[in-house]
Structure 1
Amino acid sequence: MEHMDSRRPHAPEPQSLDFEIFFSEKLKARGISLKKLSEESDIALHHLENLLRGNFEKLPPAPYVRGYLITLGRILDFDGEEWWQSLRAQNLLEDSGPHDMLPRNRFAQKPVRKALWGAGIVILALALYLAVRLPSIVGIPELQISFPQEEQVVTSHQEILFEGRVAPGARLFLNGEEIPAAPDGTWSVEVPLSPGLNVVEFSAKKLLGQKRVVRRRVIFQPEASTQDIPPIQVIPRSETHPSQ
């Protein structure tokens, strides 16, 4: 009884298959076009077309083709080094000389281009961030007092309520002390008063901008208390007697 080998058959060796046929099958298996492969591999489209047609004489010297095959092998899942050795053994590739090396400046340019691309992306992101955030960190902020709207108020209450709105992101101060505001910029605060004239100062400032100041004058006139009024003394009228 013959023993059946259930192991998966090996992929064809480079020597038993023309590269153009192998390359075509890999493209079909991956479902990728030459144009898309050119974009992913950074290999010129006409070089890929020459590889697919077997026009090796139209390709650059061997070191360049080696780089192409290794790159394509990573994308299409095959051993590019093995195929390069096979094509060289068949004298299908143009030899670039005894050292068979790529020019140094070819590899020196790519990191520079990548660095420039990276710097450009960072600069663009920073510019977009500043375009969005700049209005909230520079300039004179908006500051409004919606209540009371009068610049001078007379009240008999010991506290007065102020309400208003400040530009979102700006810091709000009451008589030099910072007070909180809602995310949309609205705020309210009760201010204690002293008898007589009270000058209430609100100010707002952005991170890199100038300060806006709004003032209100509040006169506190406490209501008179009956305990503070001195009692009225009634002096009885003296009786007069006619002189004898």
Structure 2
Amino acid sequence: MHQRTIGEILAEERTKHHISIPKLAAKTRIRQSYIVALEENRFDELPAAVFVKGYIKTFGRVLGFDDRPLLALLRRDFKESSEGTLIPREFIAPALKRFRQPRAITTAIILLVVLFGTLFSYVLFQWFQLQRPPEITLISPADASVVGPTVVVRGVTDFDAVLTVNSQPVALQPDGSFETAVQFVTEGVVTVVVEAQDKQGKKSTEVRQLQVQF
């Protein structure tokens, strides 16, 4: 069902009273071009919203009709811009949609960049982990320390590495820790060599120089 527009209602009221546009312009002191624009719903050719509301009230007073329903229609169909002009509400939603769409696209791009950045960092980290040799943290003995004939070698390495101390295999605990005793039969400067090798054959070595005294 067709809903009458503000312009149609104003034109009907004017013709119902048999008043021409020039005569109405003279009675209301409103430009004829503004009256034509109002009746043809060309609100973009009219001045600020406050004047348009005043024109409608003046028409109501001169033509003898209640202007409140027309002002309600004006509020329903139009919104005032920051400059005070009237903007059809049907144009506001598409404009907001166009404004929001780039923001949504920008957000999606940022999320994709973050996702791929995280994935790339993870893959790069795993690659470096595969390329590096197993780490050895030797807790004891300290380098250049004076020891007796029995030395306890204690430390931590990668849990899946193969460990040797002075070429002798040493069992690892599930967390990669190890401990073994090395016997020396002579006094003097000795060397303890701890070596860890991973499945790819990469090796790490820690060396301690010790002074053995009986």
- Per the TM superposition, whether the score is higher than 0.5 is no
Instruction: Report the structure, 1 or 2, having the larger helix content.
Output: 2
Instruction: Report the structure, 1 or 2, having the larger strand content.
Output: 2
TM-score when normalising by structure 1:
0.34
